[in-house]
């Protein structure tokens, strides 16, 4: 792969799971992967419990904001990872789609978000090994 792979994380509100996944991938893959996230029905802001859970591991996502999912974002990505967005994600030929079954952190406290954060990290590490083996994990 000559150009760097790109990954799009999608969940309904783009406020919790997809934001944490994008932050982990950005943090762990350094500059080896292009990272996007979006939601089919974006929230007004990133989930405060997700922000706190990521802060605990030294990753600041306070500047992030939920973004609306567009067909262009899917088209521009090599891998599209959905997290409970159902059929809202447009499908394009030649793209790789993964569906990660993860608990929804919406309305949960940071105690409930920590295991979701840690599960996402584990999945991101495996993803990096597959799509960007040169990245420092």
**Residues in Cβ contact with 112 at an 8 Å cutoff, skipping those fewer than 6 apart:** 49, 103, 105
Which residue among the candidates 25, 74, 89, 102 is catalytic per the annotation? 89
CB atoms closer than 10 angstroms to residue 72: 9
Q: Where are the alpha helices (DSSP H) in 1-131?
A: 17-29, 48-56, 71-75, 110-131
Q: Where are the alpha helices (DSSP H) in 30-90?
A: 48-56, 71-75
What tokens were used for 68? 């609306």
Which residue among the candidates 7, 85, 102, 128 is catalytic per the annotation? 85
User: What crossing angle do the helices spanning 110-131 and 17-29 adopt, rounded to 10°?
Assistant: 50
| 80 is known as an active-site residue | no
| 85 is known as an active-site residue | yes
Which residue among the candidates 11, 33, 113, 116 is catalytic per the annotation? 11
What tokens were used for 25? 């991938």
What tokens were used for 5? 């792979």
Catalytic residues: 11, 85, 89
């Amino acid at each position: 792969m000559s150009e760097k792979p790109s990954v799009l994380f999608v969940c309904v509100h783009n406020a919790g799971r997809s934001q944490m996944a994008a932050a982990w991938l950005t943090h762990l893959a350094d500059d080896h992967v292009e990272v996007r996230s979006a939601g089919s029905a974006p929230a007004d802001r990133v989930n405060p419990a997700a922000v706190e859970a990521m802060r605990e591991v030294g990753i600041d996502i306070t500047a992030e904001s939920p973004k609306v999912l567009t067909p262009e974002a899917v088209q521009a990505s090599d891998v599209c990872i959905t997290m409970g967005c159902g059929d809202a994600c447009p499908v394009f030929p030649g793209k790789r789609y993964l569906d990660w079954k993860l608990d929804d952190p919406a309305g949960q406290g940071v105690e409930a978000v920590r295991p979701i954060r840690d599960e996402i990290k584990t999945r991101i590490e495996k993803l990096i090994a597959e799509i960007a083996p040169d990245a420092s994990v």
